[in-house]
Structure 1
Amino acid sequence: MKSHSSTLLAEVRTFRQKHPDVRYVDLIALDIPGHFYGKRYPVEMLEKVAAGSPLKLPQNAVLLGAQGGLFKIGDYCFNDGDPDANRRLVPGTLKPVSWESQPLGQMLITSDGTEAPIEFEPREVLAKVLERLQHKGIHPVVAFELEFYLFDKKLDNGLPQFARDPLSEDADDQPNLHIERLTRFGDVLDDMAQTAKDQGIDITVITAEIGPGQFEINFGHLDDGLRAADWAALFCRSTRGVALKHGYRASFMAKPYLQYPGSGMHVHVSLYDGAGNNLLAAHQQQPLRHAVAGCLELLPHCMPIFSPNHNAFRRLGGTVNAATRASWGFEDRDACVRIPESDPRNLRIEHRLASADANPYLVLAAILVGLEHGLEAKREPIPPLNEDRNSGTDFPVDMLDAVRAMRHQPVLRDKLGGEFVDVYCENKRQDHLAFQQEIHAREYRWFL
């Protein structure tokens, strides 16, 4: 513990030497809906925390709804006295914030690794899954891909406007994959990529996607699942900030336009043993088939994680490369679980169902649990789409149905934790009901 504190203290002191103008550091963590919460600390106080002083935040900050409100979930929030819970600094995450008007730093915090972790904190849920897999001799290698849209900074009566092409000043309202769009929006995209790299994130490929103003960013493969999810979470925060600086609004909303493709979170996962052998490639790839079967079996029960809000369900079906059923296939982007072409060393799955605004810690945890369950159950999957275009099993396409499917699923309760499943399902149920408590203009047009 002493050496751990020494490492953190050295990190803080090195940061202060490199960035003497930074007076405050945001200590941040991701809540259940995928928003950052935290506190802004004077940098000199951060040194004390790094040296071992306690760092406490309200436990129930993790339970906030999508709009920041608290819901009654069991005894949490209203019958528990709103207690504090210990957090710790995540080593290696203290970085400068370049998109704010004043010099600032930020650093991730978490309850995992403390004496009493919060069972429903997303990062803790993933940490427990990874720890269990490590004890079984299973070591995941993970890479995220995130799609997002650029919009004009100003909304039009609350509605998004197409991003303006900086060369022509016209709206970028044409769906295409033209690489010239990367040049036209090069200033903001380059700043996004460099800012992410300054945060320690390994940015690789940048793609102009089909939707107008839509792009995709790929991250490097990591043998640390927690860090991979950290990258995805931090990228969303920095990208939104950089976009505003350039006069745009960046959004990871799942389906901002009904007529154009939605934005997804694609996750590549391969599994290795302690000697570095690809577990999925053994025995003529039979473990791969078992792992796929486990993912597909649990997928309908994980929909509140993969589609975490009302809008995310709009993304499913109706446009290109968005699955409508739990399916798999080799080199098939219509499948939920795609097997990219690769050599045995790099054999992996690409899980394509989650929306871009899903919580990356929980998405990865759900995928890994599916793989783990499949390797243990050793069942054959349904036929791939390459053999039968109608292959697939139904999954819920409504939040309340999805919550019912998740709440009592025994494998998820065992491997993600019953307390987490209960809290998460109730959070999503109440968030959905709160969203419904507004009459929209269309309703008056139809029924007044």
Structure 2
Amino acid sequence: MKSHPASLLAEVRSFRQNHPDVRYVDLIALDIPGHFYGKRYPVEMLEKVAAGSPLKLPQNAVLLGVQGGLFKIGDYCFNDGDPDANRRLVPGTLKPVSWESQPLGQMLITSDGTEAPIEFEPREVLVKVLERLHHKGIHPVVAFELEFYLFDKKLEGGLPQFARDPLSDDADDQPNLHIERLSRFSEVLDDMAQTAKDQGIDITVITAEIGPGQFEINFGHLDDGLRAADWAALFCRSTRGVALKHGYRASFMAKPYLQYPGSGMHVHVSLYDGAGNNLLAAHQQQPLRHAVAGCLELLPHCMPIFSPNHNAFRRLGSTVNAATRASWGFEDRDACVRIPESDPRNLRIEHRLASADANPYLVLAAILVGLEHGLEAKREPIAPLNEDRTSGTDFPVEMLDAVRAMQHQPVLRDKLGAEFIDVYCENKRQDHLAFQQEIHAREYRWFL
């Protein structure tokens, strides 16, 4: 996974030549809850790192909770001396940042490919899954779709307010799928799309979704699953920044309004062999059925990944196209695993369960492990929703139950790594318990 220092050095020097006004570069990585952490480096120091100087950050930065605090997880954080861990620069990710008040750059960093990768780093978890699949001759092609809401920049009493319609200055409080919403918010949406393209992200379709101020962005299909997850992570960062620049607040929160649809992360995955043949389409699509069965079998045990916080569980089973059970179907948006209509060459699954604020590296890793397990076990799936609208298996709908279902699942411990599973489950458990340590005003209204 390492890149030759000469190529990295050439990338940094080319960036400096093309962006002479940039003095600092943010070196960033995604932690377990899906937030970026890192350091702001003078660009001349970045050149030294690219040439081979060590780049170290605290290992336990990966373990940060949603609010940025550290939890005691095994011997990590409080009994390990808070050691540094080596990171490396991710080639091809050094790009300009256009949404800040001052010219900046940003570049992804990671522990994968170093002498001692961090076992619970989300990107490293995905790297191991992809490497194992490649050794088996399985090559995924991946595309993410992300939904998000635009809100007014200012909160009112801590609550989000509808985005203001730029043409009328009224609140965009009407749920609809109208194409006119794309026109009314074109200035900010166009800037989001162009900024993403400047980051090297292939933006394709933009859709006005059902919720007021809700949109969806689709990305191009990639034969590099790691890069596809990088795109999803970087898009969330740039979109929030661009929205603030235009006077809005962009959020990938799973369920910001109880009465309107939540925001999901839909992931399209197809699998090919070394010759470019679609593995799912072989033998009258029997491998597709096996892959679906594997996804559905592991799905109830992956809920802390697909619904990573208290709010994300609110999205499940609410309003439209939000599954309540592990299910599948052909051209059926009520299913967790949808099979879009396509020719055999492009046959794929669309995994629709994850919330938009889930960690894209972990979501993709969990989906791929489900597919891998299904191809190995060769079991038949339950009936699709097209044949039986009641078909499906239950999954946990509360975090502590979900953590218990995940922690001791043998396939996940084997294929995602036992150390990662233990660390991740404890991180989610502690985050959930910390969230509960506040008395809401409703409790006083009901029980005082």
Q: Which range, TM-score by smaller chain?
A: over 0.9
State the alpha-carbon separation in 1 of the partners of residues 305 and 199 from structure 2. 26
State the alpha-carbon separation in 2 of the partners of residues 139 and 369 from structure 1. 13
Instruction: Quickly say closer, same or farther: Cα 1:261–1:48, change in 2 above 3 A.
Output: same
Instruction: Quickly say closer, same or farther: Cα 1:3–1:392, change in 2 above 3 A.
Output: closer
What secondary structure is seen at the aligned counterpart in 2 of 1:113?
Answer: coil
What secondary structure is seen at the aligned counterpart in 2 of 1:87?
Answer: strand
Deviations 1:139-158, CA, capped at 9 Å, x for gaps = 00000000000000000000
Deviations 1:317-347, CA, capped at 9 Å, x for gaps = 1210000000000000000000000000000
Contact 2:335–2:352 (Cα < 8 Å) also in 1: yes
Q: Quote the residue 2:2 is aligned against.
A: 2
Deviations 1:336-394, CA, capped at 9 Å, x for gaps = 00000000000000000000000000000000000000000000000000000000000
State the alpha-carbon separation in 1 of the partners of residues 66 and 20 from structure 2. 36
TM-score by length of 2: 1.00
Instruction: Quickly say closer, same or farther: Cα 1:231–1:319, change in 2 above 3 A.
Output: same
CA RMSD of aligned residues (A): 0.8
State the alpha-carbon separation in 2 of the partners of residues 34 and 107 from structure 1. 16
Contact 2:174–2:212 (Cα < 8 Å) also in 1: yes
TM-score by length of 1: 1.00
Contact 2:316–2:322 (Cα < 8 Å) also in 1: yes
What secondary structure is seen at the aligned counterpart in 1 of 2:334?
Answer: coil
Alignment of 1:247-286 (within 5 A): 247-286=247-286
TM-superposed CA distance for 1:3, in Å, is 7.0
Stretches of structure 2 that go unaligned for 5 or more consecutive residues are none
State the alpha-carbon separation in 1 of the partners of residues 51 and 151 from structure 2. 43
Deviations 1:187-245, CA, capped at 9 Å, x for gaps = 00000000000000000000000000000000000000110000000000000000000
Contact 2:3–2:91 (Cα < 8 Å) also in 1: no
Stretches of structure 1 that go unaligned for 5 or more consecutive residues are none
Q: Quote the residue 1:325 is aligned against.
A: 325
Give percent identity, aligned residues only.
95
Instruction: Quickly say closer, same or farther: Cα 1:3–1:203, change in 2 above 3 A.
Output: closer
| Displacement over 4 Å in runs of 4+ | none
Q: Does 1:148 align with 2:148?
A: yes
Instruction: Quickly say closer, same or farther: Cα 1:401–1:15, change in 2 above 3 A.
Output: same
Deviations 1:295-331, CA, capped at 9 Å, x for gaps = 0000000000000000000000121000000000000
Q: Quote the residue 1:304 is aligned against.
A: 304
State the alpha-carbon separation in 2 of the partners of residues 124 and 2 from structure 1. 13
Q: Quote the residue 1:402 is aligned against.
A: 402
What secondary structure is seen at the aligned counterpart in 1 of 2:165?
Answer: coil
TM-superposed CA distance for 1:2, in Å, is 9.9
Contact 2:329–2:386 (Cα < 8 Å) also in 1: yes
Contact 2:305–2:358 (Cα < 8 Å) also in 1: yes
State the alpha-carbon separation in 2 of the partners of residues 107 and 140 from structure 1. 25
TM-superposed CA distance for 1:412, in Å, is 0.0
Instruction: Quickly say closer, same or farther: Cα 1:45–1:292, change in 2 above 3 A.
Output: same
Deviations 1:80-120, CA, capped at 9 Å, x for gaps = 00000000000000000000000000000000000100000
Q: How many equivalent residue pairs?
A: 448
Q: Quote the residue 1:315 is aligned against.
A: 315
State the alpha-carbon separation in 1 of the partners of residues 89 and 235 from structure 2. 19
Instruction: Quickly say closer, same or farther: Cα 1:3–1:337, change in 2 above 3 A.
Output: closer
Contact 2:151–2:163 (Cα < 8 Å) also in 1: yes
